[in-house]
Amino acid sequence: MLELKVHGIKKYMEATLVVNSFTLEAFEGDKVGIVGANGSGKSTILKVIAGIESMHYYPGYPQTSSPGYDEGLVHRPRGASFAYLEQMPSYPAGLKVIEVLNLAFEEVHAIEKQMRELEEQMQVLEDVALEKALNKYSDLVNLYETKGGYEQEEKLSKVCTGLKFTEDFLQRDFDLLSGGEKTTVGLGKILIHQPDILLLDEPTNHLDMDSIEWLEGFLKNYRGIVLIVSHDRYFLDHVVNKIVEIEDMETISYKGNYSAFISQKEENMRVQYEHFREQQKKINSMEKQVMSLRDWALRADNNKFFRRAASIQKKLDKLDRIDKPIFERRNMRLHFNDAVRSGNETIKAVGLSKGYDGKVIFDGADLMIHYGERVGMVGPNGSGKTTFLKMLLGEEQPDAGVIELGANVLAAYLPQKIDFANEEQTVLECFREDISIVEGKAREYLSKFMFYKKSVFKKVKFLSGGERIRLKLAILMYQDINLLILDEPTNHLDIDSIETLEAALEDFKGTIFFISHDRYFINKIGERVIAVEDHGLKSYPGNYDDYKREKAIEPVVAAVVREKKEKVLQPAQPDPAAKLLKRIEALEKEINELDLVMGIQQDYEELDIMYSRKQQLTGELELAMEMWLSAGE
């Protein structure tokens, strides 16, 4: 039984205290999400647990050199394998992607090499020597099987399919990949390896939605311990069963997923505030008693009153004071300026076609976005989302068709990769460059975006990804705009900042068009989803969950439509209601059979497949029931 215990970690980076006390407990099968603001030490903690950052350990556990100012204890199970997903993994030079992935089988290949060498030796050995070799060979075969030697192709194929590694991609030089591609390959290698304890730092970065959803299913069935640092709230909701929050350099653990954590935290704060208020009443009452007793003692010259006052004061001094909970922590305070209303047609594409090097991206695509709509665009990586944005912004021209902004549209664009014209400028200089505003007012405005005091004099080239987004938002929100175009706006922001952005967007009166892989963000902001499908743009009303439900029932609807067409061609077909009834009976039978098998199934992967199938069948059953009821009216 795997068990990982981390207690009271205190970690400095040079002379700066990053984490004062981090505690975590996880057992086999646990998926633990670690959340907190940017800079709270989440990634550092993962490195400490992985043994990359030095820490003290209990005697008998692996020990590394450790600076004297670190404190804390890490119980790591003996013999357990660890793997840490680095944001920029590095491997020996000159390897192809497939060779990097095969590094996951290094241990298996070493065992296989010993088996082959022993096979050659056994051809010439005799008697006792042969018997010893056979015993050793048997042990190696068992170890080879335990380590997954017979499952290499299956594991490799499963991960390559899930992360969409094509044959061409597998043959590319790893050194020539982008940073995001390298990280994804590193993730693939770790998932193939399947260590006992898996440490993932922002694993959904650079993945499209299909790959993220595959990863969710993979991790839900993972038998080891998984620790995840992520800002992807939807991902945390669907994977983890525990949350550890780092706040004010301390940790609190919560049972359940991200939504359960938010609910529990709000309830804890409410209870804490009630206890705080009750204690404050008691403290005020005691303080008044002390003042009154001292006053009476002075008037009556009676030491008895002084002694009683001192006794109450002593109790006050020893009282364990309850802190007042902080409901509103320091964060961005965003507000958009009201601008002139644009025309009703805000973004318009008619007959849009575009291709590169013989590859068709769009072919006759149409799109209309009206004033005030909040529309999210989704689609796999490489499907054309960025190309659509470039054409909309005039950076590229379509091969055919029209794409344009409507009348009186005042657009602001937040790109995925944020660059500034002069990286040598300070934050203050960059903000004021095209804005007529005195320094004092500019600094006051920038403080709303968490640029306080000396931070406004920080050079732009030294800003982090999150700081760049905050500065760009400050510049955009100072303008009069009625259309916001956002490309992956939640990248590099911590959860608190994302939620602040969401609140500001909800108050924005204009039109919002955005591209995002953040499904929680799409659910919160989106009112319509545009999916890039079959070289076109298909509209789905509602948010991300509505879009997924619609996608799930599309095959059922298509089958019903096909049946109706066949009925027109063949008038002698049976009654539609009778057909639907037969379909309902068949679906109910298959669902019941699945329930029976799931009740005795022990294999997690098979169970997950069956559960997904049951969900699909249940959706088909509900639709068939509705259609059957409608047919009877």
Domain for residue 603, yes or no?
Answer: yes
623 plus 569 within the same structural domain: yes
* Of residues 124 and 284, more confidently modeled: 284
| pLDDT attached to residue 67 | 40
What average pLDDT score do residues 5-24 get?
86
Structural domain harbouring 293: 263-318
What average pLDDT score do residues 583-609 get?
74
287 plus 420 within the same structural domain: no
Domain for residue 384, yes or no?
Answer: yes
What average pLDDT score do residues 342-354 get?
94
414 plus 468 within the same structural domain: yes
Decide if pLDDT at 27 tops 90. Answer: yes
Domain for residue 6, yes or no?
Answer: no
577 plus 536 within the same structural domain: no
Number of structural domains, the chain?
3
580 plus 616 within the same structural domain: yes
In the predicted model, what is the mean pLDDT of the chain? 85
Token pair recorded at residue 514: 């955005």
- Domain limit, last residue, from 494, 526, 545: 545
Decide if pLDDT at 612 tops 80. Answer: no
Q: Phi and psi for 436 in degrees, rounded to 5?
A: -85, 100
| pLDDT attached to residue 236 | 95
500 plus 458 within the same structural domain: yes
416 plus 518 within the same structural domain: yes
- Domain limit, last residue, from 486, 513, 545: 545
Residue 392: in which H helix or E strand, if any? helix 385-392
541 plus 564 within the same structural domain: no
pLDDT band (50, 70, 90) for residue 531: very high
Give the tens place of pLDDT for each residue, 168-203.
999 999 988 887 788 889 999 999 988 899 999 989
Give the tens place of pLDDT for each residue, 72-110.
888 888 888 888 987 667 788 889 999 999 998 888 889
Among residues of the chain, what percentage have pLDDT more than 70? Answer: 90
Domain for residue 146, yes or no?
Answer: no
Domain for residue 615, yes or no?
Answer: yes
Please name the residues in contact with 119: beta carbons below 8 A apart, sequence gap of 6 or more.
Answer: 137
CA distance 621 to 632: 17
Give the tens place of pLDDT for each residue, 537-564.
999 999 999 999 888 887 777 676 676 6
Check: CB of residue 162 under 8 Å from CB of residue 151.
Answer: no
| pLDDT attached to residue 582 | 82
Domain for residue 325, yes or no?
Answer: no
531 plus 559 within the same structural domain: no
Decide if pLDDT at 69 tops 70. Answer: no
What SS3 string covers 316-359? HHHCCCCCCCCCCCCCCCCCCCCCCCCCCEEEEEEEEEEEECCE
Check: CB of residue 541 under 8 Å from CB of residue 530.
Answer: no
| pLDDT attached to residue 87 | 65
Decide if pLDDT at 56 tops 70. Answer: no
DSSP-derived letter for residue 59 is T
Token pair recorded at residue 184: 């994804």
| pLDDT attached to residue 397 | 94
Residue 262: in which H helix or E strand, if any? helix 258-300
428 plus 505 within the same structural domain: yes
| pLDDT attached to residue 305 | 84
Please name the residues in contact with 33: beta carbons below 8 A apart, sequence gap of 6 or more.
Answer: 228, 229, 230, 236, 239, 240, 242, 243, 244, 257, 258, 261
Decide if pLDDT at 353 tops 90. Answer: yes
Please tell me the pTM assigned to this model: 0.73
405 plus 553 within the same structural domain: no
The domain that contains 501 carries what CATH number?
Answer: 3.40.50.300
Give the tens place of pLDDT for each residue, 378-421.
998 888 998 999 999 999 999 999 999 999 999 989 888 888 98
Give the tens place of pLDDT for each residue, 120-130.
888 888 888 88
Domain for residue 418, yes or no?
Answer: yes
Number of residues assigned to the chain? 633
Burial class of residue 228 in the structure, from the number of CB atoms within 10 Å of its CB (0-12 exposed, 13-18 middle, 19+ buried): buried
Decide if pLDDT at 619 tops 90. Answer: no
Domain for residue 148, yes or no?
Answer: no
382 plus 516 within the same structural domain: yes
Give the tens place of pLDDT for each residue, 577-591.
777 778 888 888 888
* Of residues 59 and 194, more confidently modeled: 194
